[in-house]
Amino acid sequence: MSVDTTSVLSSLFWKFLERSSVQLVSFLVAIVLARILSPEDYGMIALVIVFVNLANVIVEGGLNTALIQKKEADQTDFSTIFYASLFLAAFLYCFLYFSADAIAVFYNNKELISVVRVIGLSLFFFAVNSVQKAFLSRRLLFRKLFYSSLGAVLLSGVVGIVMAYQGAGVWALVAQSMISQIATTLIMWYTVKWRPTWEFSSSRFSSLFSYGWKIFVSNFIINLFINIRSLLIGKVYSAGALAYFDRGKQFPSLIIENINNSIQTVIFPVLSKEQENLTIIQAMVRRSIKMSSFIIFPLVFGLATSAEPIVRTLLTDKWIGAVPFIQIFCAAYLLMPMQVANMEAIKALGFSGTTLKLETLKKVIELIILLVSVPLGVEAIAWGVVFYNAISLFINARPNKKLLNYGFKEQITDVMPPFLMSMIMGASILLVNSLLEDSLVTLLFDICVGFIVYIVLSVVSRNETFIYLLKILKK
């Protein structure tokens, strides 16, 4: 079976449009809310989201990924995972409900009790939504996902802003989070032509679980270590410090997650269908790394060099403490697309055991880095992420040297042209910053100069990915 390039590119377009539109609206809503609410409100919700995110990983349990990876998944498979996910959601909600008091005592904040118990209800909607998304991913129906996600974020954003203006504080963020999950699930329920049937197969569950549990453990470890920093910062330092840390991480994440999630969601099911054709997989992994790097590098360099005027213009001076964290996380996430592409290739080929081994090794390293950095301050914790991601890049790329003959050295060679062009672009933005004082004017000039410099460099150097993208756009 050959890959339908038009179908893949169309799916990638709709997935990227879905992620970018949702993230853009979420970002605009977050700016408005940040201007109204205090960093402490954001710090409180960040603590609770840690527990809910970890519970969500358990609810999905790698079973969503197993549904996508399985060559022939039928109605019985989907219904089985649907009921299994709901059962896990119910169990975990009960655990969160009765753990709320202990969480509040740990952080010395009684208001966390009710916040945890309300946001925990989103687990049920996430359970349903994870199966719906698996159904869409297998069929590359990302246009439907675009409509549901955008509708949900618009509705939840309006409610959150209205409540914030009315003085609801942290509950404005709680309502925004809950309504987003509920609306996404309900819209997809009426747009996706899939319904669960009254059937559950223990043998199908065992088969899917045998693949999915390794992905689950890998994802749980990843999320645990992503969120454990927030737990430690909130406990050792303060909710305000956590808010600056999270806000600094949010800006580069907006860029990285859009592109990474789009590539990951589209490429994984396609690679899974081609798991016996290593030549096609190697070509697609290489293309995804080149394209994502060409797009991400200038955005990340531009964000790092324009961080201060961005914060002063969009969030006001009360968030100026987030500037160094924006710059640090830009460095941390720069080569993340390479990591994601490598891991998706390994998973698609069916080596979920290899994925688990790699994640276990990386998390041992990450734990050591985290333990060393926590006593040194919040910025040291952020720099630890940079160091860890640099090591992870090499670890993730190594298996693909053997599997696809596309290792670390070849990948670095492929991304070097956009990296060098982005460095030159970043230097031009720093020059603009040194000449101007007004934050809004500086930001506007940064955007214009950065865009022009990068495009000119792409044309002059006849960058291969730039030419490829132009051809795709012409088609």
Q: Is 350 helix (H, G, I), strand (E, B) or coil?
A: coil
Give the torsion through C-alpha atoms of 60, 61, 63, 68, to 10 deg. 70
Q: Return the structure tokens found at 423.
A: 């460095």
Q: Return the structure tokens found at 475.
A: 């088609």
Summarised one tens digit per residue, pLDDT across range 329-357 is 999 888 777 777 777 777 666 666 677 77
Please provide residue 199's backbone torsions phi and psi, each rounded to the nearest 5 degrees. Answer: -150, 145
CA-nearest of 81, 94, 149 to 120 is 94
Q: How big is the chain, counted in residues?
A: 475
Summarised one tens digit per residue, pLDDT across range 216-261 is 776 777 777 777 887 788 778 877 788 888 888 888 887 776 666 6
Q: Return the structure tokens found at 42.
A: 């954001």
Q: How many CA atoms lie within 13 A of 464 on its CB side?
A: 10
Burial of 402 (0-12, 13-18, 19+ CB in 10 A): exposed
Q: Return the structure tokens found at 70.
A: 């399985």
Burial of 214 (0-12, 13-18, 19+ CB in 10 A): buried
Sign of the Cα torsion 23, 465, 139, 353 reads negative
Are 92 and 123 in contact by the 8 Å Cβ rule? The answer is yes
pTM to 2 decimal places: 0.67
Query: Which one is predicted more confidently, 5 or 152?
Result: 152
Summarised one tens digit per residue, pLDDT across range 351-389 is 666 777 787 888 888 889 988 998 999 999 999 989 988
Please give the C-alpha separations between residue 13 and each of 10, 101, 149, 312, in angstroms, as whole numbers: 5, 45, 15, 33
Please give the C-alpha separations between residue 166 and each of 153, 156, 161, 197, 344, in angstroms, as whole numbers: 20, 15, 9, 44, 45
Confidence (pLDDT) at 2: 46
Summarised one tens digit per residue, pLDDT across range 40-71 is 777 778 778 878 877 877 776 666 667 766 66
